[in-house]
Amino acid sequence: MWKALQLSRSTRGTFIRRRRHRQLKRMTPKAALWKSCAWVVFFVKHVLTQTQHNTEWPCTEERLVYSSYAYHSRVKSFGNTLSYIRRSPLILQHPCEENYFGEKNPPAIYLGEKVFLSSDGFESSLLPLTIPTYFVMPPAIVSAVTFVENSRMLLVINEKVFIFSFLSLEGWQRTKGIDRPVTEIKNIDCCFSLEDPVCRRVSNTIIAYKPEDPIDYSNIFFSKDGGYSFDRIPNAPSSSTSIHDYNYITLSQIVASTNATVGYKESSYFVYGGALYMNNRKDSQFCLEPCGNDTSISFIPPGLRGFIILRTNNSLLFSFNNGLTIEPITVHPTEEYGNESFILNGKGFCNVAAHKNEIAAITNDLKLFYGSLDMVATKMVHIGTAMLNATDGHCDAMTFVTTGILLLFHPIRSNESEYYNFEKCTINIQDRLMSVQPPLQPCPVEILSGDFHNKMYYLDMKQELHFNVTFVPKEGTDAHPYVTVSNPHVLAFQARIVEDGYTYNGNTKYSMHIRLLQQQFSNMAHPEFQEDIYIGRLSTITVDIYNKGIFCIDMHPLTALIAMDCPPRKHIRIVKTTTACSKGLFKSVLLQNNFSYSISHKVYDPTFRGREHLVQEDLNVTYRYDLWGCPLLLYYDSPWLPLLELWDNDEFVEYVSADFVLFEINGMHNYDYLLTEVEANCMSRAQNWTTLLNYPEAEPHKAWSRYNYQSCKEPRGNESLPSASSKYQVLNKNEKNRILFEQYNGIYVFKVIVVDALYSYCELTTVFSVYVHGALPKSEINAGKTLVSFLVLIFGSILMVYYFPKLLKENARMKSVWT
């Protein structure tokens, strides 16, 4: 059942596994079988056999990979076998590294005459991927595939979108919301963090479309839940024809690559718009030769840097800035290939692969080119030609295994089963570049490092980030780093370079200090250049060496993802200096044991509109100690202002100095505000709960927020003037407005909402309880009647004092007369 075969070969690369082969020959079959099972249970043999293609690339290592039956993939073959729509095969690897998958191999899919899904880098035999017949009828043609997070992928099969969960093998399901045929699907995986909510939102943003349709009725569908459901994006009318659509996360825009007739010439350009609409904002024109009916392919290298590669059969273009400028990729002339452009002789490109800042291309006459993606100029160099001994026109699939390691391979049907093995050719790019004549420009830098590389950072409102970069240029070179941001509409930077000592061999060491801040607060750009400040945005920052050349394979750029957004653990807390528990009015044990209290029917309105004299019952409320803790203790006759703290995770940041509002979550309205709009120095009419809740379906948790808040401290014309009778319902630590309580003892549960849009991207809210005490019971005696009775009594007493002596005298006089 097990065997390992090593065949002799004079070409380079076979020495890599000779020691392993000698060890295996000395092992008994039983011991060898045990050893193989302990080593991930796959078997590799070096071969030099006549295959059906028989192409010989300049391989550093060539292998035929197959595995024993017990360790084949768990994917079983049933239903319709999938096949790829294009003639040239394609490998799509998940763009994220091993740490994104818990040190496991990222998944990869091979698209060709058969489709194979692998979770171990195609290091075991596989069955072709199939789809059940009740989803699609044969033939099942795949036109596009994309990975979503680390658990599933989306495939366009026969112009319909399906989800395949490869991690749990839950099988296939159809997406919802796409009611028209589509052939393309795209997303951008955020590999900086698996659990971060912003990064997950990026990875779960998908667009699906069908190219070659006029934009005014092109069907572009947009998903925010990872492809489970889609919504259509309405488009502005246009006479252009859609070629490709992209979701440029770091620009927060949907971008359409289009063809249009300009004068007498067919040209292409990008149209930019939002996810809710498409407008006609365009960039500079370019041409995909030929611009007519030629099929074009586009892909975005991983890293969120704004790179995009476009190719047709006869042209290869590159953009480093999300399509704002497009330049052709040129060739560095060598002795073997002396041209500065691709001489395709009508045969065109066979395959193109890209990885972060690298690119490789195979032409249909089997010439292999390699280059680095650079902002200054992207050049490629010829590094080898395959010797074709059999069927003409064969093209191997190609991908980068890691930086500087290129893999070409194709599947081979097993003679003993339905499984397919894989013949692999690994090419070490550095070795190939060493043999190029005349020699390439050496890498001009020795060190380029920064501890921010491959990390994600948050930049909240009006905050700054500071990065340090260490670089050491080689002696005699003028190499220096440059800084780019993928979305300059939201992220600005300042950088300065200083000398920072010397290395052990005497070269000067430099430090670059980078200061990052929001473009809106940088004073570096016109307001028209800046993006909307109220919604969170993304941008990457990249530090690279200017014009470093092709030879700098291991000197990778330094990239970090900056989210101008709410840090996920930022929150506010209420300051509780004195609580009802600390003063002995309540015991924590009592509040935790299903404690409930009653709210009088006179002091609450379930619609939160402050209506009085409602015919309703008293409201019984169960106290949530787990959410509210011990209530804050307040005296009813003391004006009160909540004091809020800003926290990031468990670290105190500051006391909140922004505008905020509050409401009682049970509808209690027996409290008021100290200041009127005029007393609060408003320059325009202030918002209040009554007007904001006077809309259909309005509810207090969402009626007033940072998205609709309008400060009354800004003038809005004569039609909106402050009122001397309206109470000002906005609070701030630095202002005099306060909460006034009526003569009432009881528990209030308030929700605080920070509404200042320029304070933070976060929706800062918190819920807490207060216990108001000290109010004497209200008297049941009618004050008016009591006053009238008291006045009558006084008036009667006065009359009696005045008339009683007179009556006594008159009575005495009468007695004297009668006597």
Residues 517-559: pLDDT tens digits? 999 888 888 887 877 778 888 888 999 988 888 888 888 889 9
Same domain assignment for residues 511 and 608: no
What confidence score (pLDDT) does residue 4 get? Answer: 30
Alpha-carbon distance of 7 to 63, in angstroms, equals 11
**2 occurs within a structural domain:** no
pLDDT digits (tens, 9 = 90+) for 89-141: 999 988 887 666 666 778 899 999 999 998 888 988 999 999 999 899 889 99
Which of 159, 174, 189 finishes a domain?
Answer: 174
pLDDT band of residue 386 (cuts 50, 70, 90) is: confident
Q: What is the mean pLDDT of residues 398-417?
A: 89
As given in the structure block, the two tokens for residue 106 are 């990222």
Taking a C-beta distance cutoff of 8 angstroms, is the pair 742, 704 a contact? no
Between 670 and 5, the more confident residue is 670
For the chain, the first-to-last Cα distance in angstroms comes to: 155
Same domain assignment for residues 576 and 664: yes
Give Cα 734 to chain centroid, integer Å: 35
The SS3 of residue 582 is coil
As given in the structure block, the two tokens for residue 125 are 């035999």
Alpha-carbon distance of 629 to 397, in angstroms, equals 62
Taking a C-beta distance cutoff of 8 angstroms, is the pair 771, 585 a contact? yes
Structural domain that includes position 790? 782-819
Alpha-carbon distance of 154 to 536, in angstroms, equals 27
Same domain assignment for residues 621 and 525: no
Taking a C-beta distance cutoff of 8 angstroms, is the pair 371, 359 a contact? yes
Give the least confident one: 142-151, 314-323, 408-417, 748-757: 314-323
**Degrees (nearest 5) of the Cα angle 410, 414, 420?**
45
Backbone angles phi, psi at 99, to 5 degrees: -65, -20
The single-letter code of the amino acid at 428 is: N
**666 occurs within a structural domain:** yes
Give the least confident one: 205-214, 447-456, 579-588, 737-746: 205-214
Between 147 and 238, the more confident residue is 147
Q: Which of 211, 214, 208, 256 is nearest to 228 (CA)?
A: 208
Contacts of 8 (CB under 8 A, 6+ apart): 14, 48
**261 occurs within a structural domain:** no
Between 395 and 137, the more confident residue is 137
Residue that is written with structure tokens 């990729």 in the block: 329
Same domain assignment for residues 719 and 747: yes
Same domain assignment for residues 643 and 762: yes
What confidence score (pLDDT) does residue 20 get? Answer: 34
What confidence score (pLDDT) does residue 322 get? Answer: 74
Same domain assignment for residues 760 and 799: no
Same domain assignment for residues 459 and 577: no
pLDDT digits (tens, 9 = 90+) for 758-804: 999 999 999 999 999 987 766 556 667 777 777 888 877 787 777 77
Residue 30 has pLDDT above 70, yes or no: no
The mean predicted confidence, pLDDT, of the chain is 80
Residue 460 has pLDDT above 80, yes or no: yes
Taking a C-beta distance cutoff of 8 angstroms, is the pair 551, 440 a contact? yes
**685 occurs within a structural domain:** yes
pLDDT digits (tens, 9 = 90+) for 591-610: 999 999 999 999 999 999 88
**159 occurs within a structural domain:** yes
* 8-state DSSP, 627: H
What confidence score (pLDDT) does residue 348 get? Answer: 79
Between 532 and 462, the more confident residue is 462
Residue 237 has pLDDT above 50, yes or no: no
Give the least confident one: 51-60, 310-319, 454-463, 781-790: 51-60
Same domain assignment for residues 576 and 524: no
H or E segment and range at residue 38: helix 29-38
Backbone angles phi, psi at 816, to 5 degrees: -70, -35
pLDDT band of residue 388 (cuts 50, 70, 90) is: low
Residue 474 has pLDDT above 70, yes or no: yes
Please, how many CA atoms are within 13 Å of residue 768, restricted to the half-sphere of its CB? 21
**447 occurs within a structural domain:** no
Alpha-carbon distance of 126 to 141, in angstroms, equals 19
Between 392 and 710, the more confident residue is 710
Q: Which of 385, 344, 369 is nearest to 56 (CA)?
A: 385
The single-letter code of the amino acid at 299 is: F
Give me the percent of the chain exceeding a pLDDT of 90: 41
**152 occurs within a structural domain:** yes
Same domain assignment for residues 498 and 612: no
As given in the structure block, the two tokens for residue 358 are 């690298």
Q: Which of 296, 222, 236 is nearest to 266 (CA)?
A: 296
For residue 747, list its beta bridge partners: 771
Residue 245 has pLDDT above 70, yes or no: no
Backbone angles phi, psi at 694, to 5 degrees: -90, 45
Which of 110, 142, 174 finishes a domain?
Answer: 174
Is the CA virtual torsion 103, 104, 107, 113 positive or negative?
A: positive
What confidence score (pLDDT) does residue 599 get? Answer: 94
Task: Indicate which CATH number applies to the domain containing 458.
Answer: 2.60.40
Same domain assignment for residues 483 and 630: no
pLDDT digits (tens, 9 = 90+) for 263-292: 444 445 455 444 433 344 444 444 554 444
Q: What is the mean pLDDT of residues 341-359?
A: 82
**399 occurs within a structural domain:** no
Structural domains of the chain, count: 4
What confidence score (pLDDT) does residue 291 get? Answer: 44
As given in the structure block, the two tokens for residue 430 are 């550095």
What confidence score (pLDDT) does residue 99 get? Answer: 61
Same domain assignment for residues 590 and 684: yes
Same domain assignment for residues 480 and 583: no
